[in-house]
Amino acid sequence: MPQNNQKPIVEVSDLDVFFNTTQGQLHAIRSTNWSVSQGETLVILGESGAGKSVSVHAVSGLLPITAKITGSIKFEGEEILGSDEESLRKLRAEKIGVIFQDPLAALDPCFKVGAQIAEIFTVHRGMSKKEAWDEAVKLLDSVQIPDPERRANQFSHQLSGGQRQRVVIAMAIALSPTLLIADEPTTALDASVQVAVLELIKKLRNERKMAIVLITHNIGVAASIADRIAVMYGGRIVEIGDAKEVLQSPRHPYTQALLASMPKIGSSATERLITITGTPPSLATIPGGCSFHPRCSRAIAKCSEIVPKIELNKSGSLHSFACHNPEGAKS
């Protein structure tokens, strides 16, 4: 790993997540392994229902109470699965910041944005109201909101989409967390605002040496920010590795097909796009064997029976994938 010298912030191993529903038990996440180090950005890429959000919120502890989590989640070397509610609460408050997709839903419409940020400091740092407010204004300045004093006095409906997301980012980094979880942080934003927000996240990562786990379904977003990429499909990680390698020489047929199906700028108007047939499975209908086999052009008999193991190459390779019949293999 390029960040091998940095200490790992989160290490997830053999993580399984089940949900108990009225229709029986859903097996949402299936034996996933990933980690993220200080100053590193891991992007989890996948379509809806792939299990991206469930994976990271198993770490942040934001899964519903019906979720059953097995495996191991280590945060800065300490096992957090099964630890008591009070220490988890403290960990979440101090060490983990979360940014969600829709900033309007993440902010309270009835309070000034400055007050919402200041509350964090009064509760967790015991500051006086005045101190906390000044701290909030400083924070707004550091997420590049112009005229932060005036903005702090405004309500969320008076801000633009990009500014709202900056406020949410400010709240997430207020207590200097070591891990920032960004769940589709730019999906609700316009294209040019999206670029600016990604730039801000990059800048904060470099300044504060946070580990970032960013969830997206947008390959462009992944390419612009990721150090490493994990591709998820049907509750499993099917490919993980160095961003450059995953995007330039993808090995899993799903990643390959996904990259090929993107319209490229400058492609002629008479061209057709390469498509993946069928639809992504819902968590209730994940097929046996490799989750992708019903839609895969390279599927062989084995694929519907045995789950391919993700080959973690010990020889220092940064790139691993789970496939019985990858391109270039003897079949």
Partner 1 sequence: MTNSGTPLVQAIDLIKDYKIGPRGSRTNLRAADHVNFSIYRGKTLGVVGESGSGKSTVASILAKLLAPTAGSIQFDGTDIASLSGASLKKFRRRIQTVFQDPFSSLNPKMTVLKSISEPLVVHKIGTKQERVARVEELLVMVGLEPSYASRYPHQLSGGQAQRVSIARALALQPEFIILDEPISSLDLSIQAQILNLLKDLQQKFQLTYLFIGHDLGTVAFISDDIAVMESGKIVETGSVETIFNNPKHEYTKKLLSAVLDPTKDLGRFI
Among 77, 109, 146, 263, binds partner 1 (CB under 8 A): 263
214 makes contact with partner 1 (CB under 8 A) = no
Residues 316, 305: Cα–Cα separation, whole Å: 30
> Comparing C-alpha atoms, which of 200, 209, 131 is closest to residue 177?
209
Instruction: Give me the count of residues in the chain.
Output: 331
Smallest separation (angstroms) from partner 1 to the CB of 102:
14
Query: In angstroms, rounded to a whole number, what is the distance separating the alpha carbons of residues 34 and 74?
Result: 11
Binding test (CB under 8 A) with partner 1, winner from 105, 123, 262, 329 = 262
Choose the stretch contacting partner 1; rule: CB under 8 A; options: 57-65, 126-134, 171-179, 259-267.
259-267
Could you tell me how far CA 13 lies from the centroid of its own chain?
17
Closest to partner 1 by CB, 280 or 308: 280
64-88 burial: b if 16+ Cβ within 10 Å, else e: eeebebebebbbbeeebbeeeeeeb
Q: Decide: is 86 part of the binding site for partner 1 (CB under 8 A).
A: no
Q: Tell whether residue 284 is a contact of partner 1 (CB under 8 A).
A: no
**Beta carbon of residue 45, minimum distance to partner 1 (angstroms, whole number):** 9
280 binds partner 1 (CB under 8 A): yes
Q: Is residue 248 near partner 1 by the rule CB under 8 A?
A: yes
CA dist 100 → 36, 165, 182, 186 (Å): 19, 9, 6, 9
> One symbol per residue from 131 to 170: x for binding partner 1 (CB under 8 A), - otherwise; what is it?
------------------------------x---------
User: How many binding residues for partner 1 (CB under 8 A)?
Assistant: 42
Binding to partner 1 by residue 222, rule CB under 8 A? yes
Interface residues with partner 1 (CB under 8 A) are: 47-48, 161, 190-195, 217-224, 243-244, 247-248, 257-259, 261-267, 269, 271-277, 279-280, 295
